[in-house]
Amino acid sequence: MQTADTLNAYRKELREALENKFQKTALDNFAVAYREGRAKNFAGIDRAELIRQIASAKDAAMGQMDELYARFKQAAEAAGATVHLADSDSAANAIIARIAEENACQKIVKAKSMTAEETLLNHFLENKGYEVIETDLGEWIIQLRKEGPSHMVMPAIHLSRNEVSRLFTEVTGKSQDTDIEQLVKVARRELRQRFVQADMGISGANFAIAETGTLGLVTNEGNARLVTTLPRVHVALVGLDKLMPSLHEALQILKGLPRNATGQAMTSYVTWITGATPSAAAPDGQKQMHIVFLDNGRSALARDPVFSEALRCVRCGACANVCPIYRMVGGQTYGHIYIGAIGLILTYFFHGKNRDKNLVQNCLNCQACKDVCVAGIDLPRLIKEVHTLIQEDGRKPVLNALAVPVIKNRRLFHGLLRTGRYAQAPVTGGAPYMRHLPHALVKEHAFKALPALSKKPFRDRWNPAPHSPPHPEYRVALFSGCLQDFVYPEQLEAGLRLFTGKNIRIDFPYAQGCCGLPLYMLGERAAAAEVAEYNISHMDPAEYDFILTFCASCASHMRENYPFLLKTASGRRVKAAQFAQKIIDFSSFADFLLDASDAGRPEKPIKAAYHAPCHLCRGIGVTEAPRKLLQNAGYDYVPHGEEETCCGLGGTYSFKFPEISAEILNKKLAAVSATGAEILATDCPGCVMQLRGGAAKQNLSLRVLHVAEALADARKSFGRF
Amino acid sequence: MSQLALIEKFTEKARAVSTEVQVVDTIEAAYDYAVTICRDKAACQILSSGCEFPLSDPAEELCGLKQWERLMAAPDLGEDAISALTPRCGDAGIGLIDRGLHAYTGGIDVGLTTATAGIADTGSLVLNCTSEDLRLATMISEVHIAILRAADIYPDTDALASLLSESLSARPGYTAFITGPSRTADIERVLSLGVHGPLALHVLILKEDT
């Protein structure tokens, strides 16, 4: 449970988490195993179609939440249950305590429920003198340790068998072995007697089916069945977002939930409960069943045009499984109660901005969560949107105050970048890297060498003549992005050389500014929208067939976010959609335009590894073109397991969280080094900056190149293209 | 999908999640199977699983509550089945109960039940178990043996939709999909079977008609 008050305190906790060797290894193994298992889990299933179905079922249910609740209540009560509606977390807790009191319950067993974690139900009941025992093995372990869950599905993934053994020794008063099988059996017997003695069982639910008043529970251990069967009273705490019209929608979700969560086609137990069943423990042979629905902002969320998407979440936990940050630091620091990407969003609404203000910044925008989400939630965007809300509410960080007015004003920004070249002279000594960083930055940012600004930006070097044929087949606008304009103009020039002689006209509209992604990353949505509007008005999509950029981040931001940022601006939003449609990245364009003249395999092929920029492979879905180009260029392309893992830059992220950025970078470079590659090619100048800086710092004999540079090199070496 | 193909698919998928699957020709063969499993179960130890390890005093006490050396529960099979099972259990020294399972939470060796349906696609059983005794037989037994009639195997949940809708509409109703034995991976992601429910699940596919 993450509760740090300041960003510095939070960073201190993150540094400590990075020191936790057991956790890091455990999560790393898990990340790799999960990634490898995923393809198999969805074999024979049209995943995109399933995601669409789940998203639309959830969206439709949200739109009729009140009606579904009324229908559910009517059906469940007809089957002998009592249905309650709690507006807030404290109201839900109070209702449950009252049920316990009215039924003279003292001992309570609980099945795992994130909703009960959300309301801190255990603490509430324990403070009232009730004995509450978690019975899911992982939940029991963390309850005994007085911790919060570190994963939504595997709450004790951060603990070792040794820690569990010590804990069980303490709990049983008998010395325990460290054998996992044996520890599980000890838990079985310790918890069995708790089930037998309990007066009340509390569960959550994965589905609440309005048509029949049925609860659906998806579990593996079987504890939820015992919790809902043995005690004489059953209380289910259920978020209003779990309401579904009929079994049909629940079965659709059930096709995706276990596959995405644990790689199972079906969990061991899926339980459907309609009303109050017979109970031998009850004096009248009839179970008392209460279903408490929790609103806590859900009904308002359901009506929000942007954030309603967050309610699609089915709590599979996959957004943590694929998150490169979670993989490094674990759930105790990567969530307040809800863990992972969805946690960064829900924390704001359920637990408040103070609990989320640091967390929400801890996102690389790498899109891995969006890609894995079985409900099709655009998690990275919602994280940015929450970040924006939090910024608007409070005092903005210094970085925002400095960056916003500059980036918004193209002339000022570019003017500063030009003067920056002179100011940097003392720290670079003329080398292409900054030799001496300002003292305050040295310690944390020393993991990579930072590049120096180019002597002459691309805009001053641009020569349109070779790209202005009289009757061009295509008209192309080049969007350079700041990094290639001012730091790496040679990347653009290398690519443009490949296009010389083709019958295309390339314009470089001088008025273009920053794409605006850094502003959006800082939670400055309004400023990002202004910049989007500015660029579109200076690069009319109607005049071009393609808007070409060599920067995957600019491409992804302009294609995915411009239409969103301008969606309420009448007229502009049409232009934004047209603009977005015409965006193309370098590799796709080169693949489209260049013929690989197959000159056979070069005599001495050079081993080349590839780094897939997040914003290319997931942002705009381009995966084949760059790999194909490298092979066609004559390189010996060597794949590696971390190709599609983020490099750790995340724009301003690496300045805010340098320690994590460094760890992610090191993992990437280690995987690349293991291939024996001489060249590491990628499609984004930001990734080049991060990877090249890291390789230089580690003295690796690895040349990090933009794909454009790698292809231009190959033309020289192997005579391709 | 032909019945044979359904049986094959069910068997493949169920075995993949640690379910033991056998095809039997007669109901008597199913009874014999259950009695043999119960008689031979952990021949060297009569304790409930976990009771051999160091436990807290209250947990030890519950272990002590197990009254028979061997106990089988068959709560929903009907009088004919009980008549057929009684001599078999008697010969093997096994206690047989068909009600009041709530009093046996210390441990039941084998729970013998009939599945409502099977789902070939995932190797799952569907059990309508609104009766608490039936539910407990599938939960607190260390080995759960379910008889599944071959004709009740459906390709997937979609094919089962109408039957399931009916089950869910029962007031009250408690329906379970059971796919393999109880499992956890909560400690170091190491898979362990039998954390709360059965340690083993056997499915006897009854293929009487062919």
pLDDT at site B157:
94
Between residues 81 and 140 of chain B, which touch chain A (CB distance below 8 Å)? 100-102, 105, 119, 121-124, 130-132, 135-136, 139-140
The residues with which A238 forms a beta bridge, in sequence order, are: A293
Does the pLDDT value for residue A504 go beyond 80? yes
Does the pLDDT value for residue A238 go beyond 90? yes
pLDDT at site B46:
54
The residues with which B202 forms a beta bridge, in sequence order, are: B20, B145
B172 Cβ neighbours under 8 A, 6+ residues apart: A79, A80, A273, A274, A275, A276, A277, A278, B130
For residue B195, give how far its alpha carbon lies from the nearest alpha carbon of chain A (Å): 5
Contact of B195 with chain A, judged by CB distance below 8 Å, is answered with: yes
Token pair for residue A264? 């199972």
A496 Cβ neighbours under 8 A, 6+ residues apart: A466, A467, A478, A506
- Alpha-carbon distance of B39 to B31, in angstroms, equals 12
Confidence of residue A443 (pLDDT cuts 50, 70, 90): low
Backbone angles phi, psi at B134, to 5 degrees: -65, -45
Quote the pTM value: 0.93
Q: Report the residue from A33, A135, A247 with minimal CB separation from B168.
A: A247
Confidence of residue A692 (pLDDT cuts 50, 70, 90): very high
Peptide bond into B172 cis (omega under 30): yes
Does the pLDDT value for residue A433 go beyond 80? no
For residue B193, give how far its alpha carbon lies from the nearest alpha carbon of chain A (Å): 8
For residue B24, give how far its alpha carbon lies from the nearest alpha carbon of chain A (Å): 24
Instruction: For A315-334, write each residue's pLDDT tens digit.
Output: 999 999 999 999 999 999 99
- Whole-number percent of chain A with pLDDT over 90: 84
Contact of A260 with chain B, judged by CB distance below 8 Å, is answered with: no
pLDDT at site A598:
61
pLDDT at site A435:
54
- Alpha-carbon distance of A288 to B146, in angstroms, equals 29
Contact of B44 with chain A, judged by CB distance below 8 Å, is answered with: no
Higher pLDDT, A37 or B78: B78
Q: Report the residue from A187, A195, A273 with minimal CB separation from B195.
A: A187
Cβ–Cβ < 8 Å for A691, A713: no
Closest residue in A to B186 (Cα) is A138
Question: Given the DSSP bridges, would you call strands A636-637 and A583-585 parallel, antiparallel or unpaired?
Answer: unpaired
Token pair for residue A589? 């364009």
A-chain residues near B178 (CB < 8 A): 268-269
Token pair for residue B90? 């008697």
Backbone angles phi, psi at B91, to 5 degrees: -60, -35
Closest residue in A to B197 (Cα) is A222
> How far is the CA of B125 from the CAs of A69, A434, A474, A487, B128, in angstroms?
30, 65, 61, 63, 10
> How far is the CA of A289 from the CAs of A68, A120, A347, in angstroms?
19, 21, 30
What size, in residues, is chain A?
721
Q: What ipTM score was computed for the predicted complex, to two decimals?
A: 0.95
- Alpha-carbon distance of A142 to A154, in angstroms, equals 11
> How far is the CA of A534 from the CAs of A401, A459, A528, in angstroms?
20, 18, 10
- Alpha-carbon distance of B155 to B152, in angstroms, equals 10
Q: Which of A10-19, A444-453, A541-550, A671-680 has the lowest mean pLDDT?
A: A444-453
Instruction: For A40-80, write each residue's pLDDT tens digit.
Output: 889 899 999 999 999 999 999 999 999 999 999 999 999 99
pLDDT at site B66:
66
Over residues A8-36, the mean pLDDT reads: 94
Instruction: For A200-230, write each residue's pLDDT tens digit.
Output: 999 999 999 999 999 999 999 999 999 999 9
Token pair for residue B80? 């004919």
Confidence of residue A447 (pLDDT cuts 50, 70, 90): confident
Whether residues A176 and B139 touch (CB distance < 8 A) is answered with no
Mean pLDDT, chain A, rounded, equals 93
Mutation to test the B interface, candidates A112, A193, A227, most B Cβ within 10 Å: A193
- Alpha-carbon distance of A458 to A490, in angstroms, equals 8
Confidence of residue A439 (pLDDT cuts 50, 70, 90): very low
